Structures are given as C-alpha cells and as structure tokens.
Amino acid sequence: MKVFQIVLILLSTTVFLLEGGFNEGLGNKSIIEAWEEQLEKEENEFYRRDEIYTFVTFDLEVNNESKGEFTVDFSEDIDDPVFKLGDYTVEIVELYPTYELGEDRKPTSVSDYPFYPGFVMVVTDGPNETHVFVTAEKSITATNDSQIDITLVDYERYKVE
C-alpha cells in the first residue's frame, strides 16, 4: 500500500510540473532558472543539483538518547518503509525526492530524483505517535514538546552529468 502512495505522490508531482506548476509568479523565468537562482542564493551542502543521493542514514533520538539508526536506500525500491528500532517504529508516510516548500507553504517535490529528499515520518512507541518532517539538515516535529529527534548521520551521493 505504501509503495502505491509513494508512486501516487511522484505521479501527482510530475503531472503538476507538466501542467506548468510553479510558473505562476515567476515572470518569464522557467522553473529551472528560478531553482538555479534559489540554489545560488542558498549555500547548502546537502542540496546539489548535480548529485543524487544513493542512501541516507538517520539516527532516532528520544530524550537525547539514541534508539538506533535506519537507512533509506534510494538504489532499491522503497517498498517497505518501516524500520523497527527497539520499542520504536519509524514509518515513512510521505517522500519528497527533491523537497521544496511550495508557494502554498506545503511540501512538494520538483523532481523524481533524490537531489534533496524530504520525508514525513511517523514514530510510534506503543499507542504514542509523533509526526516528524525530516530533511538532511533538520527534523521538525508536529508538537513543540516532543522529545523525538531524527538526525542525519551518513549519506552517499553520486554525480550526474
């Protein structure tokens, strides 16, 4: 079921872009030109338009204590995006291969390739659920009082021509 959701998100993003999404408000600039301008303005070691992520490894911390690491491997189908770490379960419920914040202030992806992946994850511990938005740079929980943090500990990228 989750593979279907990921494929549906990717197809929706592709259709949106083909129909001219993001062109409103850009004037005569193409999506690529606007994207390049944004990348030039922001020095970001994790976001490179010429390198695709092969995998990312994250560490789940609860109350500043590591509960374990998990790896998302983009070279394989992400057909079972659930990771069991002791009493905790981390599930990827949404994937944005090249994450950007859209004009409507909602996460979106501007590519099907993982140039800068963003994830919506649900961390469960028994009946407790915490929703976390995660990129290579940071994680943001749905509530401010959450003691859950997901941080990047390793990654691999390769150059594309």
With tokens 């911390």, the residue in question is 61
Q: pLDDT value at position 122?
A: 93
Which residues, including other chains, have CB under 8 Å from residue 11's CB and lie 6 or more apart? none
How high is the pLDDT of residue 144? 66
CB 3 within 8 A of CB 11: no
Q: Give the C-alpha separation, 44 to 126, whole Å.
A: 37
Pull the structure tokens for residue 118: 């963003």
| CB of 117 closer than 8 Å to CB of 157 | no
Per DSSP bridges, beta strands 118-125 and 65-73 are unpaired
Per-residue pLDDT in tens (0 to 9) along the chain, 161 residues: 444 444 334 334 433 333 444 444 444 544 444 445 544 545 556 666 778 888 999 999 999 999 999 999 988 777 668 999 999 999 999 989 988 878 887 888 888 889 889 899 999 998 989 998 888 878 888 776 678 999 999 988 888 87
Q: Which amino acid is at 128?
A: N
Q: In the chain, where are the structural domains located?
A: 2-159
Rounded to the nearest 10°, the torsion over CA 155, 153, 109, 23 is -90
Q: Helices (DSSP H) in 19-126: which residue ranges?
A: 31-41
Contact 121, 93 (CB under 8 A): yes
